[in-house]
Amino acid sequence: MKSEFTLQAKTVEEAYAKANDIYSSLGDISIEVVNPGKKGILGFGRVLAEIKVIVDDGKPEPKVKNQTQDKPKTENKQQNKAPKAEPKAQKQQPKEQKQNKAPKAEAVVKTAEPQKTPTMQEKEESINVTVEEKTLAANFLKGFIKDIGFNCEVKADMTLNEKGFVSRLITIEGEGAASLIGHRGEMLDALQYLSNLCLARKSGGDHKEYVKIIIDIENYREKREQTLRALARRMASKALKYQRNVLLEPMNPYERMIIHSEIQGIEGVSTHSVGYDDNRKIVITCDNKRRAPRKQEANN
């Protein structure tokens, strides 16, 4: 039986000596030079010599079995395994029956109807105020107005409606009441915020809820709403006429809601808000905005 080995050394003579020392005891040796190698210059570019050693130990090579004898065995094994595949097919039948039942489950499922999100008006109408809550807010306003030096009267209507609740409106009347409105209703909004905050604290509610009590002086709320709606219509016509965006002054959330609701009924324009906190403004944009003509085109 023959076996091959490779050896590397600095020179071919050293490779021959290694082969005789290592493989001479194993049997007859025959050597072939694969690469004679190179010495290089000062050690650079040196390539080791490589030889192939063939050792013959004199033993006969093992006989290889005929492949034709192995084929019938494999065929017999496959034939013996074939009947085992039938019960698997029988086990899969119940799964197919379950798959046939799937359409029945689909027929039972019902599509859920989309839920409608309530609007701001629906949320405000759904807020109910009791007599105790309104009394707490009215008493707080009376003491606060008296402490800051105003001699005004706080009126709170306590008549019950069909559901057993009272209206949310509290009015302030008397000499100097108009001075409690402030610039664009800022002081009036502050009074309303403080009264609702006191109401939430004393009644045990959450001050982050919607405002329950509305405070009005000399019908300012209705007049302000009419002014804002007229402003929205005027600015919308301006945006349509000049085909450009119009930026409004900063407003509180309630006033911005009035502008948005008024612009929704006007075709060709839309609104969105920009800014943060107290400096949040409304921008009225023209939907079909045309390109402004250049100076040269205008001169022509």
Do residue 214 and residue 235 come from a single domain? no
Domain coverage including residue 270: 228-286
Residue 172 corresponds to which tokens in the numbers above?
């302030």
Q: Is residue 233 in some structural domain?
A: yes
Examine the fold and report which residue of 170, 196, 218 is the final residue of a domain before the chain moves on.
Answer: 218
Is residue 208 scored above 70 in pLDDT?
A: no
- Please state the φ and ψ torsions of residue 170, each to the nearest 5 degrees: -130, 125
Looking at the chain, list the stretches that DSSP marks H as alpha helix, in order from N- to C-terminal side: 12-23, 67-81, 85-108, 120-126, 131-147, 186-203, 220-242, 253-263, 295-299
- Please state the φ and ψ torsions of residue 153, each to the nearest 5 degrees: -110, 135
Q: Is residue 115 in some structural domain?
A: no
Do residue 239 and residue 212 come from a single domain? no
- Average pLDDT, integer, range 52-63: 73
Nearest to 161 by CA among 129, 132, 189: 129
Q: Is residue 149 in some structural domain?
A: yes
Do residue 211 and residue 191 come from a single domain? yes
pLDDT classification of 85: cutoffs 50, 70, 90: very low
Q: Is residue 98 in some structural domain?
A: no
Do residue 212 and residue 233 come from a single domain? no
Do residue 251 and residue 272 come from a single domain? yes
Do residue 15 and residue 33 come from a single domain? yes
CATH, residue 236: 3.30.1370.50
Do residue 126 and residue 214 come from a single domain? yes
CA atoms of 53 and 43, how far apart (whole Å): 27
Q: What is the pLDDT of residues 263-293, one digit of tens each?
A: 998 999 999 999 888 789 999 999 876 655 5
Q: Is residue 66 in some structural domain?
A: no
Do residue 189 and residue 258 come from a single domain? no
What average pLDDT does the chain have?
75
Q: What is the pLDDT of residue 206?
A: 55
CA atoms of 39 and 45, how far apart (whole Å): 7
Do residue 241 and residue 269 come from a single domain? yes
**Region of poorest pLDDT, from 88-92, 154-158, 193-197:** 88-92
- The DSSP string of 134-178 is HHHHHHHHHHHHHHTT---EEEE-----TTS-B-SEEEEESTTGG
Could you tell me what percent of the chain has a pLDDT over 70?
A: 69
Examine the fold and report which residue of 166, 193, 218 is the final residue of a domain before the chain moves on.
Answer: 218
Specify whether the CB–CB gap between 238 and 247 falls below 8 A.
no
How many domains, the chain? 3
Examine the fold and report which residue of 197, 218, 239 is the final residue of a domain before the chain moves on.
Answer: 218
Q: Is residue 296 in some structural domain?
A: no
pTM of the model as a whole: 0.49
Do residue 151 and residue 133 come from a single domain? yes
Specify whether the CB–CB gap between 61 and 3 falls below 8 A.
no
Q: Is residue 297 in some structural domain?
A: no
Do residue 134 and residue 214 come from a single domain? yes
Q: What is the pLDDT of residues 214-268, one digit of tens each?
A: 999 989 999 999 999 999 999 999 999 999 999 999 998 889 999 999 999 899 9
- Average pLDDT, integer, range 120-129: 58
Burial of 38 (0-12, 13-18, 19+ CB in 10 A): exposed
Do residue 147 and residue 196 come from a single domain? yes
Q: Is residue 85 in some structural domain?
A: no
